[in-house]
Structure formats: structure tokens, C-alpha cells
């Protein structure tokens, strides 16, 4: 994906941010790019905003750019949240959690008055096919694994380069889980969350308000469900 298309997408998306807003920030490289564009937007327009990051990565970047970090008690007052996605299907359902922040991202998306998703065109597909990240408390790892296998799924504990298990910022494990087919995203999201020990699921059936699609030709398309 051309850097200018991603940059253009970020510059267009910042127009959603107005003075005195509380802005939620997802995680990942696309959000990192957006935060830099947001810093310029805030400075050029002399805006006063506060941000609520979902990951330490984005929090550190936001702090370095001079943003005021809002306390998590203000999550219910979030005006708009910006986030990326691993896959977005034709019905605007998503798979998220490649960076491991799915639980906090879902909390912000459900709490915010408005959600804006930023992704390059390769993330837009007809049907969801990626492995679904499932955040699980370590105590329930074997139980959840067993239940997923009964559903015909293939779960795998996410690991770091040297083989150590990936631990989320909530102290949990991620089971990257492959399904033969996901027919009903909303239904499967609920079924997975009903397994004891599952903290959150990387299936996002709640639609965003706007989806920005950065294209290889440099153009940016804005989609509304």
C-alpha cells in the first residue's frame, strides 16, 4: 500500500475531531499514523482534546506528541474512536485483535458515540477468513481450547518470536482460532463469549459509523453502512 494513500486517509479522518472532544485510539500501525496526523490537526486548529488509548504502544506515542491522556473513567464520554481492522467483510463485520488489544478496543467501540475504522483496501474482503483472536484467562486455557475444538475450530496459543506466550495488557492469553466457516458473525461472537474463561472475541459485529478505505491508486473511499 502506497504511503501517500495511508497518509491521505489519516488526514481525511481527522476532520471528525472537534474541540473539547474525548478521542479513543485503537492500536496498530494505521492508528500510529493517524495519531501523527491528529497531532498536526490539533495544533493547526488550536483544539483542546483528550485521548484514551487502548494500548501502551499508542499511549506512548500520544504522550510523546503532547496529547492529554484521559482517565479510563471517562470511557463512557468518548466522542469518537479511531481504529484499524485485520479484515472487514461485505456486511462490515470485522476481525480485530492482531495486536492483542481486542478487549479494550471493543470496550471503546461499544462506549463511543461514533466509531471510525481506517484500513487499506487489502483488508476489505467478501467473507471473513482470518484466524479469530480470542482472549482467554490463563486458568481457562485448556478448557476453552477443548470447547473450541468441539466446535470444529483449531485454536493455537499466540507466541512471541522466542516461543514465550504472548500476554495481553490485561494479563491474558490469545488463542488465534481458525474456523472452517463463519456463517453468522453476530451469533458466533455470542457463542464464543459464552464459553467460561473467554474474556473477549476478535469478532466485531457492531458496525462502525464510517469506514475509510485507502487504495493502491492513492485514492481514499469513505463507506457508510
**What is the maximum span of the chain, computed from C-alpha positions, in angstroms?**
55
Q: What is the pLDDT of residue 57?
A: 93
Mean pLDDT throughout 61-88? Answer: 97
pLDDT in tens, 160-173: 988 999 999 999 99
Average pLDDT over residues 107-122: 97
Q: What is the domain range of residue 8?
A: 3-125+205-223
* Interacting residues of 216 by C-beta distance below 8 A, sequence separation 6+: 1, 2, 5, 121
Question: Are 16 and 83 in a shared domain?
Answer: yes
pLDDT of 1 over the 60 cut = no
- Give residue-wise pLDDT tens across range 77-99: 999 999 999 999 999 999 999 99
Name the residues annotated as catalytic: 105
pLDDT of residue 2: 62
- 95: helix, strand or coil: strand
Q: What is the domain-level CATH number for residue 164?
A: 3.30.70.260
The mean pLDDT of 140-164, rounded to a whole number, is 96
Asked whether residue 120 falls in the same domain as residue 40, the answer is yes
- What's the sign of the alpha-carbon dihedral 138, 140, 141, 142? positive
- 115 shares a domain with 171: no
- 193/210 same-domain check: no
| Cβ 50 vs Cβ 18: under 8 Å | no
| Cβ-contact 8, 218 below 8 angstroms | yes
Same domain, 217 and 143: no
Residue of 76, 72, 82, 70 lying closest to 112 (CA atoms): 76
The residues pairing with 203 across neighbouring beta strands, listed in sequence order, are: 95
Residue 216, all three cell numbers: 493502491
Number of domains in the chain: 2
Whether residues 117 and 138 fall in one domain: no
184 and 215 share one domain: no
Give per-residue pLDDT as tens, 14-45.
Answer: 999 999 999 999 999 999 999 999 999 999 99
Residue 22 has a pLDDT of: 98
Rounded to a whole number of angstroms, the CA Rg of the chain reads 17
- Quote the cell numbers at residue 40: 498536526
Average pLDDT of the residues of the chain: 96
* Whole-prediction pTM: 0.95
Amino acid at each position: 500500500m502506497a504511503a501517500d494513500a495511508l497518509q491521505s486517509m489519516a488526514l481525511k479522518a481527522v476532520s471528525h475531531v472537534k474541540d473539547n472532544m474525548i478521542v479513543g485510539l485503537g492500536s496498530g500501525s494505521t492508528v500510529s499514523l493517524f495519531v501523527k496526523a491528529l497531532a498536526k490537526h490539533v495544533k493547526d486548529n488550536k483544539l483542546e482534546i483528550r485521548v484514551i488509548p487502548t494500548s501502551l504502544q499508542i499511549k506512548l506515542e500520544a504522550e510523546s506528541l503532547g496529547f492529554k491522556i484521559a482517565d479510563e473513567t471517562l470511557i463512557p464520554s468518548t466522542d469518537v474512536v479511531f481504529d484499524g481492522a485485520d479484515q472487514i467483510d461485505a456486511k462490515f463485520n470485522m476481525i480485530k485483535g492482531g495486536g492483542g488489544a481486542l478487549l479494550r478496543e471493543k470496550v471503546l467501540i461499544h462506549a463511543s458515540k461514533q466509531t471510525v475504522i481506517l484500513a487499506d483496501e487489502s483488508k476489505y474482503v467478501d467473507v471473513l477468513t482470518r484466524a479469530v483472536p480470542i482472549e482467554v484467562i490463563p486458568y481457562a486455557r485448556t478448557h476453552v481450547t477443548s470447547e473450541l475444538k468441539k466446535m470444529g475450530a483449531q485454536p493455537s496459543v499466540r507466541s512471541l518470536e522466542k516461543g514465550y506466550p504472548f500476554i495481553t495488557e490485561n494479563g491474558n492469553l490469545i488463542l488465534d482460532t481458525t474456523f472452517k466457516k463463519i456463517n453468522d458473525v453476530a451469533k458466533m461472537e455470542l457463542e464464543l463469549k459464552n464459553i467460561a474463561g473467554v474474556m473477549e472475541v476478535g469478532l466485531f459485529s457492531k458496525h462502525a459509523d464510517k469506514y475509510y478505505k485507502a487504495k493502491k491508486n492513492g485514492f481514499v473511499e469513505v463507506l457508510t453502512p
